[in-house]
Amino acid sequence: MKLLDGKLASQAIKEELRLSVAQRVAEGKKVPHLAAILIGNNGASATYVAAKVKACEETGFKSTLIKFEDTISEESLLAKINELNYDLDIDGILVQLPLPSHIAEEKIITAIDPEKDVDGFHPINLGRMVQGQASFIPATPYGIMLLLEHFKVDTTGKHAVVIGRSNIVGRPLSILLSANTKPGNCTVTLCHSKTKELSSHCQQADIIVAALGKAEFLKADMVKEGAIVIDVGITRVTDNTKKSGFRLLGDVHFETVSKKCEWITPVPGGVGPMTIAALLKNTFQACVKRS
């Protein structure tokens, strides 16, 4: 078993970006600037945003964190996004999800200028990605592809099973894995809550991506020897022995599944850091494209 270490891979990407930003500074060019909007007091969301801001600092990016109470109106949030769309100094905009129930997520996502949509959720960017055109790829699927690339994992001709069909992870990743690229060129089966005999599909897979949000769902008896397992899930589980009062579990039962794998991602420290690295790469490209 070998670890697909997201901390290691993301650090390499951040160092590459740091050198590129330093070169831009030396040439008198614009530094990438990311604007992040955080709504409410969700602990997990605050942690994610803080990690993104810290990553910006480490790579020499500028960042602006905009906080709102969860009582903010949809109209006010849309007005702020519109303001950022026209701000020439801002290269990338992200709105941390999930949003309060009174705000329509789809409306907020489509309000962001596609050229600043560094999370890659806008329908225009998703459409470009499907057609193999240049676009901002959703950060988590992009991060997974970068992780496979960093560790030189050969995916060509392999059967990949993706569990989860969200527009944020499952669907875009299934497209990326099936694309005529490296990594890529997989035969992909996209599974979900209505899939019959899910275990049977998984048992035939060379690559399994678990992205369904159920702690330790994927068990050892669902995985064949020598598989590559990518765990996207992260769930907080109460643990009074921890100072924080909780521990983090992925969608994979790591202790048993890891014994059968060729490669596996840990949780935490696997896909999470790569999502941030991909976000930074998208922001850098947005800056280069605009200046």
Count, in order, helices (H) and strands (E) of the chain.
Answer: 10, 11
The residue type of 266 is P
Instruction: Give the rounded distance of the alpha carbon of 53 from its chain centre.
Output: 15
Q: Which residues are catalytic?
A: 52, 96, 119
**CA-based max dimension of the chain:** 58
Q: Are 93 and 65 in contact (CB under 8 A)?
A: no
Instruction: For residue 229, give Cα distances in angstroms to 163, 175, 218, 245, 291.
Output: 11, 18, 10, 28, 39
211 near 170, Cβ under 8 Å? yes
- Which residue's entry shows tokens 């026209």? 86
Query: What is the C-alpha to C-alpha distance for residues 170 and 22, in angstroms, rounded to an integer?
Result: 35
Q: Which residues pair with 161 in a beta bridge?
A: 189, 208
CA dihedral 188, 192, 198, 199 (to 10 degrees): 90
256 torsion bin: left (phi>0), alpha (psi -120 to 50), beta (else): alpha
Could you count the other beta carbons within 10 Å of the beta carbon of residue 123? Answer: 13
